[in-house]
Amino acid sequence: MIVTPLLIIFLIVVFVLLFLFLNTVDKRKWLTALISLVLTPFVFFFMFYPFLNIISNYHHQKYFDSEAWIEKPAFRYEMIDYTIKSDTLIGASKEKITTLLGAAEWLTWDDERKAHDNDKWNYATGIEPGAFNDQKECVEITFKDDKVIAIKPYQEEITFENEKK
């Protein structure tokens, strides 16, 4: 475990809250402080930390890896932010994108032509973890003259096949 200032601050907050709570049960300060000190790591790691992970949507950022992209599509959201920021795929041909990302999962619909746009490929990048997340992450790759010119992330509502509308 890496000790960071944020960890220390959270441990102090948990200790103070435990101390204040236990002080209502018993007025002996030394006993309350001792029990609070012993219980703080348990309360932090079994109650506070899991709750913090549920309400936050933090996820690890990873470098782009073609093999991981194809084999683990549910974790693509971990790679896409870095891929967009670093312009890793900008200028790549359709053939190279097919090699790196696989075939397009779906094409963007063009309302003017009433057909799919072969120059806008879409990929699902997974669902970011979090308790209140009802969106799935996607990315649209736009081509011009057979080269990638833009990568745009977007979110879609999660729908299930057996839901009644």
Express as a percent the part of the chain with pLDDT over 70: 96
| Residue whose token pair is 């397009």 | 104
pLDDT tens digits for 76-104? 988 888 888 888 899 999 999 999 999 99
User: What type of residue is 38?
Assistant: V
| Tens-digit pLDDT profile for residues 116-148 | 989 999 999 988 877 777 888 999 999 999 999
Q: How confident is the model at residue 150 (pLDDT cuts 50, 70, 90)?
A: very high
Average pLDDT value over all residues in the chain: 86
Q: What is the pLDDT of residues 1-50, one digit of tens each?
A: 677 888 888 888 888 988 898 888 888 888 888 888 888 888 888 888 88
* In the chain, domain spans: 5-55, 66-157
The continuous run of DSSP H or E covering 36 comes out as helix 29-43
Q: Which CATH number fits domain 66-157: 3.30.1450, 3.40.50, 3.90.660, 1.20.1410?
A: 3.30.1450
For the chain, give percent helix, strand, coil, nearest 5: 45, 25, 30
Give, for 106, the enclosing helix (H) or strand (E): strand 106-110
* CA within 13 Å, CB half, 34: 6
